[in-house]
Structure formats: structure tokens, C-alpha cells
Structure 1
Amino acid sequence: MDSEKKPVLSTRALNRATLARQLLLRRTPMPAKHAVAHLVGLQAQNTKPPYYALAARLDGFRPEELSALMEAREVARIVTMRSTIHTHTADDVLALRPLVQAARDREVTLFRKGLVGVDLERLTALSRDLVEERPRTPKEIREALLKEWPDADPLALTVAARCLLPLVQVTPRGLWGRGGQVALTTAETWLGRSAEPVTPQAAVLRYLAAFGPASVKDMQTWSGLTRLRDAFEALRPTLLTFRDEQGVELFDLPDAPRPDPDTPAPPRFLPEFDNLLLSHADRTRVVPKEYKDRTWKGNQAYRTFLVDGFLAGTWRPEETAAGGTARRGTATGGTVTVQPFGTLTREQRAAVAEEAARTMAVMAPGTTYDVRFGTF
């Protein structure tokens, strides 16, 4: 079908379809492990965002559920898409990490000036021996490699080890309510079985189920991979095609939800780095153009919230210690500060306040949080 004759999906239609795939249009009682698989992983640059991401999406979720899965090694933290840490199911750790290996190899080349004289095959073997003997911190890996190549750049050595091996962050790192420094071992050692790489075509289907309708460039943005056109073309006979309001071709699964653009979308509170905001080349399906630079300041990413399905502001919880002093890092209740980017109606403010209170009731049960609108 000629591109001019393909059905056009408005920005609002794309918004509602994406929210439905992302479990953000209606909360579901889906188990946490199934949700992590459906969403093809959760951004986990920090330890708490995966928990907040599921709290926004699942009915009946409790942070201890995801933490227990991590402790049981049914989910794990590993660098995958866009060279960032994600929480994946064990199956996806072993399937998706090999898929993005080409991107990790390219990343190593960016540090080649610091790796002059370094035998990368030997570096891989030495690093594997180290972390499979017992989990090692990045500092321990770096110091061991510097003994072998004292003139190499320390950061380059660390990056090379991380990229050339599928290194999982072992627990207690990432567990709810517990701290732990980063310690690494191979995915095969931690999970007790070998990698089972997914094909690019299978990955396309997984991506569309969680983020579609989408373009080839959208998936490349999500994955950090290039040259995915062939995988889409191989699947074209089995997919539906649309175009967006700019004429870009979009692909989708025939049976995937594409709700009416006027379907109500309640407010949702998201963590920093949520994949909803990071997984399309054109983010206007969720991020209005006037707000595209509002969720970051330098290297700091803010927690965000949605109103009517679109990015509408940022938020921050602050806990109150005994005696009434607000501070971060305690769990005796506190204040959630909501900072809208624009003007909200009275009804929207009430719904946002209700959702903020609900979010904190899930994340810190038994505590009371006041909700205020202002700046931070």
C-alpha cells in the first residue's frame, strides 16, 4: 500500500495506544514478573525506579514482590538497551543481552585510545575468570586489569569488561529496603544457564507489543541498535502499517490494542528514566514539544507525572523524620511536591493529588504523605 493511502494515526491515537501497551491506561493485576517481561525490561539506572514503574502500572503491586523475584534470581539487573542498566526477567537477560552485543562492541571502540596495546580477547578471559570465581566490584575488576595493562586508561578497561561480558549486578544491590554496592558476575553464572539469543524479528514483535505502533527509527532509539530495517521488512506481511501526522511509516501488531483517542487517561506518577519517555525517536506521542527539555537538569533526571496521558510535570517525595523535620531517606511519612509545567484544572489537580497519595501508599504503606503543588 502506498504511504499516502495508509491510515493516519494522530498524536493522540498514538498516545492512547502506547499507554495501553505500557499498562498505563488502566492498571492491571498482572504479576510483577509478567509485567517486567511484557514491558521488555524496566529502566534501572537507579535502584528504586523499577519499583515505582510497576507501582504506576499494576493493581495490587507491592515492592517486596519485585524484590523477592530479584533475590530468587528470576529477574536481574544488567546493561542492555542504550547501554543503560535494565531490570529484566532471567529469560530476557539471556535473550536480549546477546541481541545488543554489537552496540556494546561499538561502545568499546569509543575508548580505543585508552586501550592501546590491550588484547581484548585476553581482557575478556581475565575478566570472566575474576567475576566467575566470585562477584567482583568494578574497582576490583579495574585494579586486576591494571596489573596486566598498567599503561591503559582505567575507565577504558572497566568499560571494556562491562561491554564484552554480560555482567549482572548481584544482590543485595537492587533489593527493596536494602543497600549494597555494585558487584558483578556473568549472567550465565548468576542464572545457572547459557544465553539463548533472541532473533531481531522476535525482538521487533516484543518491542511493538510494548511500545507500538512504531517506526524502525523508534525501535533503534529504544534498543541502541542500527540496521533494523531488514527485520521489519521480513515481518511486513504479518504486520499492519500506518503513518503518523508527519508521514512517517509505523508498524504494528494486528491484534494489539489501539484504543479510541478519546479514551480517558488518568494521571500516573512515573520514576526518573521511565522507558515510556525514552523509547521513541519522536517522543511527541507522550512529551509535548514545549516540554521536551523539562525532565532533565544537567545530569539529573526528575520523576515525572502524566495528565490526560501526556507529560505534565515533575514530582518529588520527601520523608519526614521523627520530630517533624523533612528529609530524604526515612520512611515515616512526609510530603510529595508536585510541580506542574502548565495550568491544571481543579478536577485535574484533585486527580493528580489522589494519584500522588496512592503512589506513596503503595511504596510506603502505613505512612501518610501530604501532597502540595509548588516548586522544588
Structure 2
Amino acid sequence: MVGAGYTSFRKRKSPLPVGRGLFAFARVQAPPGGGTCPTREERSEMRDARCVQCERYAQNQWLGRERRTGGVVELARHLVGIQSQLRTTPDLAARARLAGARPGDVRRELEETRRLVRTWTVRGTLHVVAAEDLPLLWRALRPEWESRWSKYLDKHVTRVQREAAAAACLQILARGPATRAELLEGAQQILGCRDEWVAYLFSSWGGVLKDLAYAGRVVYGPERDGEVQFVRTEDWLDLPVADMDPDDALAVLLERYLRAYSPARIQDFAHWSGVSVRRAREALTRLGGRVAVRDGWLVPEGEGGGSCAPDRQAGGPGADAGCVRLLPKFDPFLLAHADKFYLDEDHYKAVFRAAADVAAVILSGGRVIGTWRAEGSRVVPALFGPVDDAAAAELAQEVEAVSAWLRQG
């Protein structure tokens, strides 16, 4: 059965709606103080350019009509990590992009092969990343943690207290994996202290574990009875020592970002990574001729054209990006740009909600056209407006496929 919630929006031969905001080119007003409104042809070109921009982004995100072959490790490398404060996000993000994805693939790679690792990376948030990318991420991001992101800790604890808690944590983990509660209890015993600052450093915000993660000393390990455990990196992974200059590492990270997240501007890279705009611009300088800047957009070497010129030749953007996909909450597609060019501004708050919540969305042709939620294993979509018969049929298939996926999980 197709879930309810979208059939009432079905409308014969009706194009995807163009509302106010980023896609409202059909109702552009005259400039203040007079002037000439864009002509019908100019508005059409503007609309086409925006659609091509969305379609190119979908292609770079591996969200074209045909799902990619390959596995979740390859996907994690391409996306430079998948945000993971919700454990369901990485698997559902893989399902949207990969032909052979199955429930549990991510956990198998985390705990059995250890080719994936869960830890804090960009923006100070939890991600599932390819283990081989960890040295690069540590080198590029540790300066941000030490100079900016960890400042909130200084309001509650001293540097001496952080160092003492870190030493106690490593002493406990030398005996094997441990939960957060076990680390707190062990640290209190080692330090001979049960003051509030010790508990604070082992809270769910990260605290001393983030300190150790960005230093490359600690990562998430295997779950035990549904509870996360932490391990020393050296006990869990065999990784080379990274000696790359942090700004050179950030330049590599920028180049990797553009492969998956262009079209983008330098401000978007700073938004995605969490680094300062100054460091982001320095990274761009270090890439030299490998990235061009056209009308403010960053264009990687070898990518034909900029991000705004329509190109619907076979194989180019638009060739296979018209499909419908259901993306999970906090999907990487939604977190990589300061300017949400793929979303009508009227619906911004339906996706980017209070308390830093990010909704699960319905994607069509690289544009967000609605949200969805799961009620048990039943998917309930909520479109922003009418769609044509073809999109409605594709949405029905996706709703059934994701519902079946959730039943397996």
C-alpha cells in the first residue's frame, strides 16, 4: 500500500510548483525606485540556470536517476563523511545513493572490517568517515578545535582539569573499550574527585572525549547492548602518522569537498567544515590553478562550465537527475551550503527547524519538494505543493521502498 499524505497533491500535467523565494522567478518585482523587470526570456533563463544548478548538485551527490554501484566506504570517502548523531542517517543516506545498499552495511563496516569509523569531524559534529581519511581530517580540523570550537569548555573547566581527565580516560581505555558511564566512574576513582567538573567533561556534549578525538587518540568503538563504547585509536585502527601541514590538509579537504558538494562558494565550504573564512580562503589559494572562481562559484579543474549556465546535452546535468529520492534527517545534501539554493525560502523552516533539527526531505531533480517522517515502519510524506503524475508515481515507489527498508531494520 502506498502511504497516505501525498495522493491529494497529485495533479494531472502540473509542473513542480514555483513558489516565492529562490524559485520565484516568474514574479520578479521591478527594482526599487523604478527600472525594468526581467523579460519573460530572462526569467526563463534564470529559472533554467537555478534548475541546472540543483541538478548538478544532485549528480555530484550521487543522487542521479541511476543509483551508483559500490559500497558505503566508497560513499563515505566521496562525501567526506556522513553526519551520524542519528544512527539511522548513514544507512538511509547510502540507500538513497547506492544500488546495493542494505540495512546494517554501515555497522558491519564500523565493527567488523573497521573501514569506517564514527567520530567528531567537521563542524564539531559526529560523522561516520572512512578510516583512511582520519589523518587528513585530524590535521585539517584540530587547529579549529583547539582555537575556536572548544572555547565553550573553558567556561566550565580549566586546562589542567582537561588534561587530568584526558590522562585518566586513556588509562581506562588501555584496558579495553568502555562506555561513557564507565569512563566517568573510572576517572572519578583515578582522580579521587567527584566534583561537577569531572561529570561535565564526560557529558554527552563530548568534553574530554572530543579533546582526545581531535588529537587522534580516541574514536567510537563497538556497541555493547545498544550502548556506545570508546576505544583508543591505536588499539582499534592501524593508521599512518600524518605529518601534513594543517593548511595543506585543509586545501586537500576543500578539493575533496568540491567533488561532492559543488556548485559551491568559499563561504559554503566554511559553513560545511566549520573553519574560519580566513582559513578557507588560504586553502583555496594553496590549490592554485586546480580550482577556478567564476562569478563567486568555485569550479574544480576539469568541470566543464560554471554552475549557472544551462547544459542539457547527454551526460551533462539534467540528463538523469529528475528522479525522486527520500533523504534522511541530517543528510549530507542538506548540510553543505550556507545558501540553500535547492529549497524555496517559503519552506526553509519546514526543513531547518528549531533546536538545530534538520528534517528528512523529498528530493526531485535536485530540489527539495517536501518532507517525510516515519511512523514505525510506515513512511508519511508531506509535499509542499502539487506534482505531476510522473513525480507522484516515483514518490509512491520510494515511499514503499523506504517503508520496506525500515521493516527490515
> TM-score with structure 1 length normalisation?
0.80
Alignment of 1:235 with 2:287, yes or no, is yes
Alignment of 1:61 with 2:61, yes or no, is no
Q: Report Cα offsets for 1:116-136 as digits up to 9, x if no partner.
A: 473433333222222232222
Alignment of 1:280 with 2:361, yes or no, is no
CA contact (8 A) 1:55 1:363 kept: no
- In structure 1, what residue type is equivalent to 2:394? A
Higher mean C-alpha displacement, 264-273 vs 157-166: 157-166
* Residues 100-179 of structure 1: pairs in structure 2 closer than 5 A: 100-105=141-146, 106-116=148-158, 118-146=160-188, 148=191, 150-154=194-198, 156-158=200-202, 159-166=206-213, 167-172=218-223
- In structure 2, what residue type is equivalent to 1:153? W
User: Could you tell me which residue of structure 2 aligns to residue 176 of structure 1?
Assistant: none
Partners in 2 of 1:127 and 1:306 — Cα distance?
43
Say which of 288, 298, 301 aligns to 1:254: 301
Task: Give the direction of change, closer, same or farther, for the CA distance of 1:240–1:296 in structure 2 (3 Å limit).
Answer: closer
Q: Report Cα offsets for 1:308-338 as digits up to 9, x if no partner.
A: 32111111233xxxxxxxxx3xxxxx53211
User: Could you tell me which residue of structure 2 aligns to residue 315 of structure 1?
Assistant: 372
* Residues 333-372 of structure 1: pairs in structure 2 closer than 5 A: 335-362=378-405, 364=407
How far did 1:21 drift?
Answer: 1.2
Say which of 345, 348, 351 aligns to 1:289: 345
Task: Give the direction of change, closer, same or farther, for the CA distance of 1:74–1:262 in structure 2 (3 Å limit).
Answer: closer
User: Could you tell me which residue of structure 2 aligns to residue 214 of structure 1?
Assistant: 264
Partners in 1 of 2:286 and 2:158 — Cα distance?
40
User: Could you tell me which residue of structure 2 aligns to residue 184 of structure 1?
Assistant: 230
Partners in 1 of 2:50 and 2:325 — Cα distance?
19
Partners in 1 of 2:322 and 2:188 — Cα distance?
53
Alignment of 1:36 with 2:76, yes or no, is yes
Q: Report Cα offsets for 1:8-58 as digits up to 9, x if no partner.
A: 994333212211111002311122221111111111111111000010001
Percent identity of equivalent pairs: 26
Q: Report Cα offsets for 1:199-237 as digits up to 9, x if no partner.
A: 112111111111123222111111111122111012132
- In structure 2, what residue type is equivalent to 1:124? A
CA contact (8 A) 2:109 2:116 kept: yes
CA contact (8 A) 1:80 1:96 kept: yes
Partners in 1 of 2:359 and 2:80 — Cα distance?
22
Task: Give the direction of change, closer, same or farther, for the CA distance of 1:67–1:141 in structure 2 (3 Å limit).
Answer: closer
How many equivalent pairs are there? 334
CA contact (8 A) 1:96 1:197 kept: no
- In structure 1, what residue type is equivalent to 2:340? R
Question: Helix, strand or coil: the match of 2:326?
Answer: strand
Structure (1 or 2) with the larger CA radius of gyration? 2
Question: Helix, strand or coil: the match of 2:155?
Answer: helix
Task: Give the direction of change, closer, same or farther, for the CA distance of 1:50–1:256 in structure 2 (3 Å limit).
Answer: farther
Partners in 2 of 1:19 and 1:187 — Cα distance?
35
User: Could you tell me which residue of structure 2 aligns to residue 374 of structure 1?
Assistant: none
Task: Give the direction of change, closer, same or farther, for the CA distance of 1:297–1:110 in structure 2 (3 Å limit).
Answer: same
RMSD: 2.6
Q: Which runs of 5+ in 2 are unaligned?
A: 1-45
Partners in 1 of 2:221 and 2:138 — Cα distance?
16
More relative contact order in 1 or in 2 (CA 8 Å, sep 6+)?
A: 2
CA contact (8 A) 2:325 2:363 kept: yes
How far did 1:273 drift?
Answer: 0.4
Q: Of Structure 1 and Structure 2, which has the larger fraction of its residues in strand? A: 1
Partners in 2 of 1:280 and 1:306 — Cα distance?
16
Task: Give the direction of change, closer, same or farther, for the CA distance of 1:146–1:341 in structure 2 (3 Å limit).
Answer: farther
User: Could you tell me which residue of structure 1 aligns to residue 56 of structure 2?
Assistant: 17
Q: Of Structure 1 and Structure 2, which has the larger fraction of its residues in helix? A: 2
CA contact (8 A) 1:22 1:210 kept: yes
> TM-score with structure 2 length normalisation?
0.74
Question: Helix, strand or coil: the match of 2:150?
Answer: helix
